[in-house]
Amino acid sequence: MHRFPARGPGAIARWLAVFLFVFVASVPGMALANQATSGEKVLTGAFDVGPGGCPECFNPLTAGAGFTWLEKYFSTLVLYDVNYTKLQGELAKSWDVSADGLTYTFHLQPDVTWHDGQPFTSADVKFTIDLAKNPDSGSWIGQKFTGVASVETPDDATAVVKLSKPDAAMLDNFTFLVMLPEHALKDIKPADLVKSDWWHTDPIGTGPFKWGKYVPGQYVELDAYDTYWRGKPKLDKLINRYYPEAGSSVIALRKGEISFTYLQMDEANSLAKDANLKVIAGPSQVANALVFNMTDPRFKDVQVRQAFMYAIDRKTIVDQLYGGKAQLSSCMLTNSAYVPKDVNPYDYNPDKAKELLKAANWDSIKGKPIEVVTYYQDQTSQDVLVAMQQNLQDVGIDITIRVVDTPTFQDIGAKTSDWTMMYVGGANGPDPAVTGPYFISSATPPTGVNRGHFSDATIDKLYAEGQTTVDSAKRAQVYQQACDAVANQLPWASMWVAERFGGVSTKVQNFIWTPGPGGGRYYDAAQDWDIAS
Amino acid sequence: MGQYIQRRLLMLIPLLLLVTILSFMLLQLTPGDPLNAYVPPDAPMSAAARARLRHQLGLDKPAAERYFYWLRETVQGNLGVSTSTFEPVRTVIGRRIGPTLLLMGTALVIGVSLGLLFGIVAALRRNTWLDLVLTSFAILGISVPVYLAGLIGLYVFSLRLGWFPTGGFSAPDNGSLADHIWHLILPALIIAIQYIASTMRYTRGAMIEAMTQDYVRTARAKGLRSTAVVMRHALKNALLPIVTIIGSYVPALIAGAVFIESIFSWPGMGQLFIDSVTARDYPLIMGLILVLAVIILLANLLTDVTYAIVDPRIRYE
């Protein structure tokens, strides 16, 4: 083999070495040059990562989630406490409910101003409710306010909401509805408002932070609103960075580029050892369940549905696959106020399942394996479904699993003939009324999400009663009965409510966060959030 | 040549038409529609409200009518309005195309230049330790999937060594050029790896072959400096197959960008594509397909033109 004199290619190799050296040496220098030097207190987080987030959703009337972030610059009339057990005033200082449950009178907080300095008044409340109710606004939240007959504004500080029929979940509905400024939006037609760029150019709210800068696909920056009615926020800036790949936000958190993000369960476990981070756990308020298509004759017999509950070893699944971080549920609800003490816990009992199946003559009716459709694509859910498959096979029920994306799932769910069983998550709180549309006969698609066409007169009656019973003690009793009926009739085979997690830097002080369905809707005192330099 | 380019540009029209018709038909076959993506799975909504939304989104019209409507507007430069953000598609894509072209362009430049360099060195130093190291690197670079390289790169260089940021186009409150470059280097290098690797493999092969040709021996016999022999005689002839390879990188670059843009939170078109499909955002999906098809077809044209420049024997009539 001929060897060339060293000059030609050797020179190339030397240049290459020099190039690589300069490149590698310059990188740490660039990193140093990029250290932030300003003295401002800035908290950067990934507030729209995870199931409660809705990246770049800025219209609170149409956003399906993302309320944690939206409530940093917008506010609602009422909010829950962080445990979602009690409602408290936000823009409404207090409220009265008439004895017949038809009139809600909100007394508004004085001295509240929009971010442009204009006062917040009852006219804004009326404007917002009317806007949400208007189908042109494209708001699915507006569905919650169809029972509102009128909104009256006797004075600037009082808004009177009149209902056409009592709705005990009305205050819960108001935790979804952020107030919008009449003076800024009244000239935009509701149908145009959906397309308006007001939402991401100059929205004004009444929250502790005001709109600063939006860099599409990257982040939104909010500035402290100095004349916030509870006092000037301690942070100067609050930044929400977008991470399309959730895992990248966790690396950014570990590296200290951001101070908060949502965590998957395995990430929460591995970060628990990191001294610079704190893991926050909270109930997801989403109950997982198997949904039966009641038009399939195999599920007509309640014994078959009960056999599913006894056959699945829910406790072991929770212990092994959720690391114990989930709460069992027999009727979709887990709030102890609405669950009777003697509700059937459906402890694992494969023998009982086999007996029930035998009594229902399962072997002769079972037919082809049952396909279970789900939109859950995460690893934990996959493992859970495989465990269920095994458990069910042990008692003689064969299932197959089909994972699809959410729009496909919606399409399948809308056509009763296209599916047999589903594995889903349904919000189970904070108000128990949210579970009604899963089972009541008036909520079959496309109106509600009773996709299985389940129908039971007792359950219909109890949910209707719960909706109109305003007295909270009586209401709790009604939902306890409803819970019992659901646990016995099993329109959905209710599994558990898993916990969800967030990770926050120990530099952040007074931070309040919990992973509710769709995020937010609780008071988090964001004006007190602080960060150590 | 000018006439040839003109003809090729005219050919783009039926090709693009075909691409849009096929994509539109495939979209209709995809289960789910924008409305399904828009309403959360467990949110109740009345039939009337649903129908109204369907009408607002124009989904109540037959597919063929919607296609011709889309085509008519597109020809006039209106790509429609995104059904998930209600922003004009042209604005959304216009915002995202820059970062993607920057990332892809940088990766391509790094990939091709380092690939050529390593390939020449490996060919000239055939069967030495340097060749062995470079060849092993190339095999590794070709075999490792880009998303895996992305995750490993992010973990090692961002988290462990702390040399690079974990993602994004720039840090909030810092839009300086240095900051942009700093954010660009890691994702661009990671995408570049496989192009360095495959360019190197092809260059090495082509150069080894060229170096055995008679004209190289003649050039050397004339007493030319070895650099001149390598660069002017051998490389110029070896380049022809390499140009074809580089042209074929463009579609693959776009596919790779989808993963890397997600992992590095890069606000480009690849990421937008995933989001638009998840949201069944028909106008946005169609707009993106159109833009990507134009990029790919133009890249093919550019490859053919480069061919003629590199090899004067090639004539297009």
Q: pLDDT of A420-438, one tens digit each?
A: 999 999 888 789 998 998 9
Q: Which has more confidence, A90 or B46?
A: A90
Q: What are phi and psi of A351, to 5 degrees?
A: -65, -45
- Comparing CA positions, the residue from A145, A245, A194, A179 lying closest to residue B38 is A194
Domain membership flag for residue B16: yes
Of B47, B159, B229, the CB nearest to A255: B159
CA distance A251 to chain B (A): 7
A 264-293 near B (Cβ less than 8 A):
none
Q: Please name the residue of chain B whose CA is at the shortest distance from the CA of residue A248.
A: B263
Q: What are phi and psi of B10, to 5 degrees?
A: -65, -35
Question: Does residue B48 sit at the A interface (CB-CB below 8 Å)?
Answer: yes
Rounded CA separation B144/A431 (Å): 50
Domain membership flag for residue B67: no
Of the ranges A317-321, B40-44, B158-162, B277-281, the best mean pLDDT one: A317-321
A6-20 residues labelled b (16+ CB within 10 A) or e (exposed): eebbeebbeeeeeee
For residues B7 and B153, membership in a common domain is answered with no
Question: Does residue B302 sit at the A interface (CB-CB below 8 Å)?
Answer: no
- Segment A246-266, tens digit of pLDDT: 888 999 999 999 999 999 888
Cβ A257–B166 below 8 Å, yes or no? yes
Rounded CA separation A163/A470 (Å): 13
Rounded CA separation B221/B214 (Å): 10
Q: Is the pLDDT of residue A5 over 60?
A: no
- Comparing CA positions, the residue from A307, A324, A304 lying closest to residue A315 is A324
For residues B38 and B127, membership in a common domain is answered with no
Q: Which has more confidence, A411 or A198?
A: A198
Report residue B316's pLDDT band, with 50, 70 and 90 as the boundaries: low
Q: Look up tokens 């496309």; give the residue.
A: A446
- Segment A347-405, tens digit of pLDDT: 999 999 999 999 999 999 989 999 999 999 888 899 999 999 999 999 999 999 999 98
Q: Is the pLDDT of residue A532 over 60?
A: yes
Rounded to the nearest integer, the mean pLDDT of chain B is 85
Rounded CA separation B111/B97 (Å): 20
Q: Please name the residue of chain B whose CA is at the shortest distance from the CA of residue A32.
A: B163
Residues of A in contact with B227 (CB under 8 A): 7-8, 11
For residues B161 and B12, membership in a common domain is answered with no
Of A27, A194, A252, the CB nearest to B167: A252
Assign residue B146 the CATH number of its domain. 1.10.3720.10
For residues B256 and B152, membership in a common domain is answered with yes
**Alpha-carbon torsion (A145, A151, A157, A158), positive or negative:** negative
Cβ B47–A446 below 8 Å, yes or no? yes
Of the ranges A19-23, A281-285, B39-43, the best mean pLDDT one: A281-285
B 153-212 near A (Cβ less than 8 A):
154-155, 158-159, 162-174, 178-179, 181-182, 185
pLDDT at A34: 45
- Comparing CA positions, the residue from A61, A88, A101 lying closest to residue A430 is A88
Share of chain B above pLDDT 90, in %: 15
> How many Å separate Cα A282 from the centre of its chain?
12
B 120-149 near A (Cβ less than 8 A):
120-121, 124-127, 130
Rounded CA separation B260/B194 (Å): 13
- Segment A208-222, tens digit of pLDDT: 999 999 998 899 999
For residues B32 and B157, membership in a common domain is answered with no
Q: Is the pLDDT of residue B65 over 60?
A: yes
Residue B3, both tokens: 């006439």
Question: Does residue B271 sit at the A interface (CB-CB below 8 Å)?
Answer: yes
For residues B112 and B50, membership in a common domain is answered with no
Domain count along chain B = 2
For residues B119 and B48, membership in a common domain is answered with no
Helix axis angle, B2-29 to B63-75, nearest 10°: 150
Domain membership flag for residue B70: no
Choose the weakest-confidence range: A182-186, A301-305, B30-34. Answer: B30-34
For residues B9 and B155, membership in a common domain is answered with no
Q: Is the pLDDT of residue A7 over 70?
A: no
- Segment A44-102, tens digit of pLDDT: 999 999 888 888 889 999 887 899 999 999 999 999 999 888 999 999 999 999 988 89
- Comparing CA positions, the residue from B49, B51, B33, B280 lying closest to residue A411 is B33
Distances (CA, A) of A401 to A51, A374, A390: 22, 8, 12
Report residue B317's pLDDT band, with 50, 70 and 90 as the boundaries: low
A 91-110 near B (Cβ less than 8 A):
none
B 235-254 near A (Cβ less than 8 A):
none
Residue B23, both tokens: 């994509």
Q: CB burial class (10 A; 0-12, 13-18, 19+) of residue B23?
A: middle
For residues B33 and B138, membership in a common domain is answered with no
What average pLDDT does range B239-268 have in this prediction? 85
DSSP, collapsed to helix, strand or coil, labels residue A40 as: coil
For residues B148 and B211, membership in a common domain is answered with yes
Of A215, A257, A411, the CB nearest to B36: A411
CB atoms inside a 10 Å sphere around CB A453: 15
Cβ B38–A64 below 8 Å, yes or no? yes
Instruction: Specify whether the CB–CB gap between A262 and A252 falls below 8 A.
Output: no
Rounded CA separation A412/A418 (Å): 6
Domain membership flag for residue B179: yes
What average pLDDT does range B54-70 have in this prediction? 85
pLDDT at A315: 96
A 443-462 near B (Cβ less than 8 A):
443, 446-449
Q: Which has more confidence, B222 or A320?
A: A320
A 303-322 near B (Cβ less than 8 A):
none
Of A4, A197, A239, the CB nearest to B124: A4
Q: Which range of residues forms the domain containing residue B32?
A: 2-61
For residues B15 and B127, membership in a common domain is answered with no
pLDDT at B84: 81
Domain membership flag for residue B75: no
pLDDT at A22: 58
Rounded CA separation B96/A244 (Å): 14
Among candidate residues B61, B77, B99, the one where a domain is terminated:
B61
Rounded CA separation A211/A200 (Å): 9
For residues B119 and B51, membership in a common domain is answered with no
Report residue A105's pLDDT band, with 50, 70 and 90 as the boundaries: very high
- Comparing CA positions, the residue from A220, A225, A231 lying closest to residue A209 is A225
ipTM over 0.90: no
| Beta strand extents in A394-433 (DSSP E only) | 399-403, 421-427
Domain membership flag for residue B131: yes
Q: CB burial class (10 A; 0-12, 13-18, 19+) of residue B216?
A: middle
Domain membership flag for residue B119: yes
Q: CB burial class (10 A; 0-12, 13-18, 19+) of residue A99?
A: exposed
Cβ B171–A34 below 8 Å, yes or no? yes
Among candidate residues B61, B78, B106, the one where a domain is terminated:
B61
Cβ A191–B124 below 8 Å, yes or no? no
Domain membership flag for residue B73: no
State how beta strands A421-427 and A370-374 pair. parallel
